[in-house]
Structure 1
Amino acid sequence: MQDFTFQNSTKLVFGKEAENTVGKETVKYGRKVLLHYGGGSIKKSGLYDRVVESLRKEEVEVFELGGVKPNPRVDLVREGISICKENEIELILAVGGGSVIDSAKAIAAGAKYDGDVWDFFTGKAEINDCLPIGTVLTIPAAGSETSGATVITNEDGWYKRATGHDLMRPKFSHLNPVLTYTLPEYQTACGITDMIAHILERYFTNEKNVELTDRLCEATLKTIINNAHTVLKEPTNYAARAEIMLAGTIAHNDSLSTGRIGDWASHDIEHEISGIYDIAHGAGLAIVFPAWMKYVYKHDVNRFAQFAHRVWGVEIDLNNLEKTALAGIQKMEEFFTSIGMPITLNEADITEEHIDEMAQKGTERGPLGNFVKLNEEDVRQILQLAR
């Protein structure tokens, strides 16, 4: 187990009508707020009105910026930064899913920086200061409500890049499972896949003697898997929605990372796919992860056999651990298919046209991953396996 320092200061307000107390949390950080959100769904559902009412009860001055798209764009981030600087915004309140929260984080960092915010995503600058952020989560998936990470897309070259810092962890996040009742099945399934992928990135590590966090990862994975079909068949099942929502937060709040070094190559490869094709992040991960697993499983067949047995219930064949490992990968593919996810590029109508470009762009700053270091040719072969 690695030595580590862990701190996650995000306050979670979880439960029915949680959003109605957002004003009381907001005024702890200021009275001039940028309300950041996506399309019109929060207005149609009445969530927008409830949030604004809660803010106004505390005499908070509200500025607004909507229009966040999936795979959020840097141009809107730049617009938000201008609003913050011109109006001396004191807190950014993100109401939405991971894309909205990621966009808010980038705005929060950029508002305290004199250069262009994209510098953070290319490694030209480091984050040293950040406006405080609050969230009202509507889509359990990205775990951005407690993480210090953000991912933004630049349409100039279609680069999708990540950056992170503990300063970007939200100060508070309000999680109400009822808000997820109206999510379309596909969006729910993409979220489930996203949170599973966050756990897998941490699970596949070269670090030894990490039994506790192995077991925590496995328990969280099994909780998601056990409740996935229930939320798809019974969208208003509060108990199942609550399990999924909390699991998504735990999957990416870094508690499962303690003492271990995760991989993250699959996320980096997927960013190239969704950066060019603009597909849902979860759908892209359902395509990439099985291909990555098939490419690297021999590096530690024991860990893959453990994954197959503990998570998917595959009987361990001590005489043929490779067979056990491959059966686990197949079980995962079957699960993704059962919840409506694509598991190949062809299923997502993605041709091989940009495979070379994705492999080159993905590795232009160096090899990907930690479990197995991947160069450009490795990424190309994984994308070919994903076809």
Structure 2
Amino acid sequence: MFKQFVYDIGTKVYFGPIDKSSLGQEITRYGHKLFFIYQGDFIKQLGIYDLVISAGKEYGFEIVEFTKIQPNPRHSDVQEGIDLCRQEQCDVILVAGGGSAIDSAKAIASGVLIDAPIWDVVLGKYPVENSLPLLTISTVSATGSEMNFGAIISNLETKDKLGLRKPSQRPKATFLNPEYTYSVPQFQTACGSADILCHTLETYFSSDNCMFMLDTFMEGLVRTVIQYAPIAYTQPDNYEARANLMWAAPWAINDFLRYDKENNWTMHPIEHEISAYYDITHGLGLAIIMPRYLRHIIDEKSLKRFRNLGINAFGLSCENDDITLAEKTIEAIEAFCYEQLHLESHLSSLGIDNRYFDEMAAKLASDHGYFTSGYRKLSKQDIVQILNECL
């Protein structure tokens, strides 16, 4: 028996070059004073800034700008955005940028309607019942934040990186122009692709009964990433590669794959601890964790999943026995991340040692000494072992 669910994504997608009329109509559908969040001067270089300003003049909406966006978005920056948005009485938000910008925008959209510090909202001390309408222009293929309702916010003071997942935060419309990703550096292209891959695998390895249709969809997403990420890495203006990655990113995490499943993710919470303490790039942390975690979960129950993944996504021979297929599948992931995309393979290469591993693991193993919400029940010692293997 499969879990019952209702799927209603509610995000309108414009794929391809953005025309001013579509942008202007979507903004004025929801408000007339725009809080425009964007990340870096490259938004101006891409022509997005001029497009928004021109649309504002033609469609008659005011614009308030906010640019304080950093990777692993800080709660303090988000709070500044909330204060400005509230002060200016903006009624609709447009964000242009990658996952950090979009996550910041979601937290601002919710926080502006709540009279409380945003970190207390992230901690769940105050309920999120509504959010300002949010529109996005994505410029990086990675987190898929442009079509889901989750936001990840960091508090560097407490070394915490936590999620704020509220349905009202899901973007009303998103604009996806693959040409905007031509200028994404090789490192960010690689990290974003690792993020898409990990999103898919987090859901693929599920303890629930899995629909065959969704399994094949996920295997197709993995094939797409491993085929097109190396092309985008070496040929940044290859439209086919950029378009496939841009469309794969949101489908790996817009809940289409997950609504029939109960258990949550594991690799992401572990990485969030690492980047909360060391502020590293999220996708890089995932690339380092993925093979170590996957080796940790090889057992009789997961072998069928590894077999199907290895054969259907990585093209491995079905003549291999199950254990060999599992190991070869993980080796293929390592080759993809470390050889084709040239990402670092060890935390020690990033100047990270094991001094905080016990502390990180204790935060995760909060259910009587265990992390219980993922694919496998992990003890604190299990988590420390995985982290040590990442060194």
User: What letter corresponds to residue 14 of structure 1 in structure 2?
Assistant: F
TM-superposed deviation, 1:347: 3.1
TM-superposed deviation, 1:311: 1.3
Corresponding residue of 1:256: 257
Task: For 2:371 and 2:66, locate their aligned partners in 1 and report how far apart those are by CA, in whole Å.
Answer: 37
TM-superposed deviation, 1:222: 0.6
Moved more, 90-99 or 231-240: 231-240
Aligned residues of 1:221 and 1:311 also touching (Cα < 8 A): yes
User: What letter corresponds to residue 198 of structure 2 in structure 1?
Assistant: A
User: Tell me, what secondary structure is at the counterpart of 2:200?
Assistant: helix
Asked if residue 347 in structure 1 is aligned to residue 349 in structure 2, the reply is yes
Aligned residues of 1:201 and 1:262 also touching (Cα < 8 A): no
When residues 368 and 42 of structure 1 are mapped into structure 2, their CA distance, relative to the original with a 3 A threshold, is farther
User: Tell me, what secondary structure is at the counterpart of 2:65?
Assistant: strand
TM-superposed deviation, 1:353: 2.2
Matches within 5 A, 1:1-387: 1-18=2-19, 21-298=22-299, 299-317=301-319, 320-337=321-338, 338-364=340-366, 367-387=371-391
User: Tell me, what secondary structure is at the counterpart of 1:135?
Assistant: strand
User: What letter corresponds to residue 378 of structure 1 in structure 2?
Assistant: D
When residues 20 and 140 of structure 1 are mapped into structure 2, their CA distance, relative to the original with a 3 A threshold, is farther
CA-based RMSD: 1.6
Task: For 1:99 and 1:131, locate their aligned partners in 2 and report how far apart those are by CA, in whole Å.
Answer: 18
Identity over the aligned pairs, expressed in percent?
35
The unaligned stretches of length 5 or more in structure 1 are none
Give a deviation string over 1:30-78, Cα, whole Å, max 9, x none: 0111111222221233321122212222111101110200000111111
TM-superposed deviation, 1:371: 1.1
User: Tell me, what secondary structure is at the counterpart of 2:326?
Assistant: helix
Aligned residues of 2:3 and 2:260 also touching (Cα < 8 A): yes
Aligned residues of 2:205 and 2:302 also touching (Cα < 8 A): no
Task: For 2:104 and 2:372, locate their aligned partners in 1 and report how far apart those are by CA, in whole Å.
Answer: 24
TM-superposed deviation, 1:209: 4.4
Aligned residues of 2:18 and 2:175 also touching (Cα < 8 A): no
Task: For 2:20 and 2:346, locate their aligned partners in 1 and report how far apart those are by CA, in whole Å.
Answer: 38
TM-superposed deviation, 1:20: 6.6
Task: For 2:359 and 2:74, locate their aligned partners in 1 and report how far apart those are by CA, in whole Å.
Answer: 20
TM-superposed deviation, 1:21: 3.2
When residues 344 and 305 of structure 1 are mapped into structure 2, their CA distance, relative to the original with a 3 A threshold, is farther
Moved more, 129-138 or 374-383: 374-383
When residues 19 and 260 of structure 1 are mapped into structure 2, their CA distance, relative to the original with a 3 A threshold, is farther
Moved more, 185-194 or 377-386: 377-386
TM-superposed deviation, 1:349: 2.9
Aligned residues of 1:21 and 1:54 also touching (Cα < 8 A): no
When residues 305 and 344 of structure 1 are mapped into structure 2, their CA distance, relative to the original with a 3 A threshold, is farther
Aligned residues of 2:189 and 2:233 also touching (Cα < 8 A): yes
Runs of 4+ aligned residues of structure 1 deviating over 4 Å after TM superposition are none
When residues 313 and 347 of structure 1 are mapped into structure 2, their CA distance, relative to the original with a 3 A threshold, is farther
Number of aligned residue pairs: 386
Aligned residues of 1:194 and 1:285 also touching (Cα < 8 A): yes
Moved more, 269-278 or 14-23: 14-23
When residues 138 and 20 of structure 1 are mapped into structure 2, their CA distance, relative to the original with a 3 A threshold, is farther
TM-superposed deviation, 1:262: 4.7
Aligned residues of 1:213 and 1:258 also touching (Cα < 8 A): no
Moved more, 194-203 or 39-48: 39-48
Moved more, 204-213 or 326-335: 204-213
Moved more, 156-165 or 37-46: 37-46
Task: For 1:314 and 1:88, locate their aligned partners in 2 and report how far apart those are by CA, in whole Å.
Answer: 57
Task: For 2:122 and 2:292, locate their aligned partners in 1 and report how far apart those are by CA, in whole Å.
Answer: 27
Aligned residues of 1:210 and 1:260 also touching (Cα < 8 A): no
TM-superposed deviation, 1:368: 4.8
Task: For 1:126 and 1:291, locate their aligned partners in 2 and report how far apart those are by CA, in whole Å.
Answer: 36
TM-superposed deviation, 1:192: 0.7
TM-superposed deviation, 1:290: 1.1
When residues 371 and 377 of structure 1 are mapped into structure 2, their CA distance, relative to the original with a 3 A threshold, is same
Task: For 2:113 and 2:319, locate their aligned partners in 1 and report how far apart those are by CA, in whole Å.
Answer: 56
